[in-house]
Amino acid sequence: MPESKETEPSASMPGNSDKQARLPPNEDYISRHQLTNPQPTSSQIVQISEFLPVLDQDLYEFFQEITSEIQKLGCSRAEAVARINEAWGQVDFETNDIVYHEEPKFWAYRHYYEEVLSWDEGADRSNWKVRDAPPPGSASWTLKEEVDV
């Protein structure tokens, strides 16, 4: 005659309210895993390697425009990205972030010059002080600087 196996009563059974309910191992793992590693929805977050902040696609494109504007001021793409990373590397951006309230050129000037003395397109910027680039080897430099030979 086969041995009968007794099962431990669950907490949901009457008279067992003092016992803790147990989840099967897989369900327990999945719950803890999902809590510590939430999965973003498809429209939420995309991690792009050259920029340190976590960005959605729209912010990534906006950062690309800022990068392009900084390059127009006289630095390489690697330095432009490093300047953005230095300023915003630790910022948590949201989909409708306040950063959108200004044009890419505004942010480019803010990241490139120590002080923006005029927003006039024809302003003489030859005497404006340029901010120091982030220190070489810092985490802000995510792209290699191209060296002309």
Residue 125, in any domain of the structure? yes
Residue 105, in any domain of the structure? yes
> For residue range 11-67, what is the model confidence (pLDDT) as tens digits?
444 444 444 444 344 443 333 334 444 554 544 545 556 999 888 888 899 999 999
Number of domains in the chain: 1
Residue 11, in any domain of the structure? no
Residue 141, in any domain of the structure? yes
What predicted TM-score, i.e. pTM, was given to this entire model? 0.65
- CA-nearest of 69, 79, 71, 75 to 135 is 79
Question: Hey, what are 29's tokens?
Answer: 């793992």
Question: Hey, what are 73's tokens?
Answer: 């001021």
Residue 69, in any domain of the structure? yes
DSSP structure string for 2-27: PPPPPPPPPTTSTT-TTSPP---HHH
Residue 84, in any domain of the structure? yes
> For residue range 56-96, what is the model confidence (pLDDT) as tens digits?
888 899 999 999 999 999 999 999 999 999 999 988 887 66
Question: Hey, what are 90's tokens?
Answer: 């630790």
- CA-nearest of 84, 96, 102 to 138 is 84
End-to-end CA distance of the chain: 87
Residue numbers of the domain that contains 120 = 49-149
Residue 13, in any domain of the structure? no
Distance CA 102, CA 1 (A): 81
Cβ atoms of 71 and 80 within 8 Å: the answer is: yes
DSSP conformation class of 99? G
Distance CA 99, CA 107 (A): 9
Position 145 confidence tier, pLDDT thresholds 50, 70, 90: confident
Q: Is the pLDDT of residue 103 over 60?
A: yes
Place of tokens 């010059």: 113
Cβ atoms of 67 and 119 within 8 Å: the answer is: no
